[in-house]
Amino acid sequence: MTGRPLIGISTYLEAGARWGVWELEAALLPAGYPRLVQAAGGLAVMLPPDEPSLAASAVARLDGLVIAGGPDVDPVRYGAERDDRTGPPARARDAWELALIEAALQARVPLLGICRGMQLLNVALGGTLVQHLDGHAEVVGVFGRHSVKPVPGTLYAGVVPEETAVPTYHHQSVDRLGAGLVASAYAADGTVEAVELPSGDWVLGVQWHPEMGGDLRVMRALVRAAGPPAGV
């Protein structure tokens, strides 16, 4: 590989997007995601929902993968009954992103899950979710901030060693951790804020939205992991 690492980012698929004179179905991604990848030294490409059987082929062309934030994961994916406060399912996106995660883990492609992406990583590995946290995401469409404390000795702590205030918007969280995952950061109330695989591969999920803040460290770490070995 030469040049900037190619970082794929999963996207929304929305039926009634509007821009200019158009109102059409559209693959959408908030601009903060590609801008964060670009600022961290990567080349961003969008991965809209597709046939899950094509995920391995897509991942084979990437140097790194980001599973972006978005709607609630369908509770059927982790064997739970739907809570009344859980949002409507995005089944095509769930299937595509779960296949992308599986392909990235198998191919050992560096992987970052953001908010929903962290939750889906947990579900992909057999974990479960808390479907509603009282007091979270009460103001629709408004990001809040709170502190996140790293767990010493983890991958995340090596990237962000100090307690940090982060931009956040979610009403669900990790419950039972998926196979092999460890928690690598917590909020003050005990909510798991980061998870990772301590296997030596670069696999990290964060519950907050780094694309909404000015801290590039997590994305820079992904881009470095996706780049060529030192000296190449």
Closest by CA position to 116, among listed 146, 161, 77 = 77
Q: Respond yes or no: is residue 97 known to be catalytic.
A: no
User: Which is the catalytic residue, given 97, 136, 193, 209?
Assistant: 209
User: Which is the catalytic residue, given 23, 102, 115, 138?
Assistant: 115
User: Which is the catalytic residue, given 97, 193, 196, 211?
Assistant: 211
User: DSSP of 133-184, one letter per residue?
Assistant: -TTSS-STT--EEEEEEEPTTSHHHHHS-S-EEEEE--S-EE-SPPTT-EEE
Q: Respond yes or no: is residue 170 known to be catalytic.
A: no
Report the C-alpha gap between 97 and 12 in whole angstroms: 11
Q: Respond yes or no: is residue 115 known to be catalytic.
A: yes
> For the chain, give me the number of helices (H) and strands (E)?
6, 13
Catalytic residues: 115, 209, 211
